[in-house]
Amino acid sequence: MPEFSQETLPQAQAALSATLTQWQTGDVPDDAALPPSVAFGLSCALAECDARLPLAADYRKAPLCSGDPDELFALLQGMPGDKVAKIKVGLYEAVRDGMIVNVLLEALPDLTLRLDANRSWTRVKADGFARYVAPELRSRIAFLEEPCKTREESRAFARDTGIAIAWDESLREADFRVQAEPGVSAIIIKPTLVGSLARCEQLVREAHQAGLTAVVSSSIESSLGLTQLARIAQ
């Protein structure tokens, strides 16, 4: 996926066709040597052959809101069960994001929010956001993905504001380790960018051992990819 994956489409195609040729001779592909998108797709296909992916899964998704509270409001009011929504923050003014989050949490007492800032804020901007979210509402932010440009700033933000954070971009950095940290509540696993099912399962295990929520997520997958992701999450 351009702008998400490290590998290009021709590189992925070449790796896939070489691996399939090898697989036809009876070899088990070495996931670790493959580009993540290929390792993910191929391991899903093999899991399909072995009937290892469940058909029954929760295909609902957390509705995504980019800034229009009225729209999200309408969507959520008809939603059965737990009301969870995701908002991309950091696209507009941080203060405005804070106001929207506050309004939504105040208006819908059973709403939980997942927020994603994609590392777009300086610490000052992140604080501008937090200032507008009433302290008593902050616990209903399940997590805010990567608020700041650096992990250190994000950790300090979580510590100082009481708003839980989640790691997403960090998972793809060489020095990242899954561990329990104050203020961190989840890791976001995007299998297309992470790699094989085995690698994803390992991350889920590490997350659970550290007391973290593991969220299986997508970038811009097709309906096929999204379906596989729902089944993996199950």
Q: Which of 86, 88, 125, 149 is catalytic?
A: 88
Active site residue 149: no
Is residue 192 a contact partner of residue 219, using CB atoms and an 8 Å limit?
Answer: yes
Tell me whether residue 31 or residue 145 sits nearer to Mg ion (CB atom).
145
Q: Interaction with Mg ion in 131-160: which residues (CB under 5 A)?
A: 145
CA distance 27 to 14: 17
For position 97 contacting Mg ion by CB under 5 A, the verdict is no
Residue 65 CB, shortest distance to Mg ion, in Å, is 15
Residue 158 CB, shortest distance to Mg ion, in Å, is 15
Active site residue 125: no
Tell me whether residue 42 or residue 212 sits nearer to Mg ion (CB atom).
212
Residue nearest to Mg ion (CB): 168
CA distance 122 to 156: 12
Residue 115 CB, shortest distance to Mg ion, in Å, is 9
Q: How many CB atoms are located within 10 Å of the residue 85 CB?
A: 21
Tell me whether residue 39 or residue 115 sits nearer to Mg ion (CB atom).
115
For position 116 contacting Mg ion by CB under 5 A, the verdict is yes
CA distance 221 to 211: 28
Tell me whether residue 37 or residue 217 sits nearer to Mg ion (CB atom).
217
Q: At what angle do helices 123-131 and 94-107 cross, to 10 degrees?
A: 30
For position 168 contacting Mg ion by CB under 5 A, the verdict is yes
How far, CA to CA in Å, does 16 sit from each of 9, 108, 200? Answer: 10, 47, 19
Residue 97 CB, shortest distance to Mg ion, in Å, is 15
For position 166 contacting Mg ion by CB under 5 A, the verdict is no
Distance, first Cα to last Cα, the chain: 24
Q: How many CB atoms are located within 10 Å of the residue 227 CB?
A: 15
Binding site for Mg ion (CB under 5 A): 116, 145, 168
Q: Which residues are catalytic?
A: 88, 190
